[in-house]
Amino acid sequence: MLRPKIPTMPMPTGSVTPPAVVQPTAIQTVQQPSVPAAPASRPTVQITPGTALAVIGAGTAVVLVVGTVLVSMLLATAVTAASVAVCALVVRSLIASSAKRR
């Protein structure tokens, strides 16, 4: 049968030099004088009744749009499956009727 050819490693020609030795170097760090950090004050968020209604309205709109898209995709899949099933029944009927004529 077929046998793979394994390449042979050629012998080096000439002198082989050993790898260079790397000497570790010392790392010197410079310390910066520490500056006390200012206390972080986070801005407060004020939610007004108008803002709450806007957020609720936007969330409701997003849910309705996503739901409509998902339902339409499901409906398209169901219609496609039904049409394929009808086509399969028609083809099966045609094949059965042509087999009886012979």
Backbone angles phi, psi at 85, to 5 degrees: -65, -40
Cα Rg of the chain (Å, integer): 39
Residue type, 45: V
Residue 94 scores a pLDDT above 80: yes
The rounded mean pLDDT for the chain is 85
pLDDT at residue 38 tops 70: no
Q: What is the pTM of this model?
A: 0.46
Cβ density class 40-79: b for 16+ within 10 Å, e for less: eeeeeeeeeeeeeeeeeeeeeeeeeeeeeeeeeeeeeeee
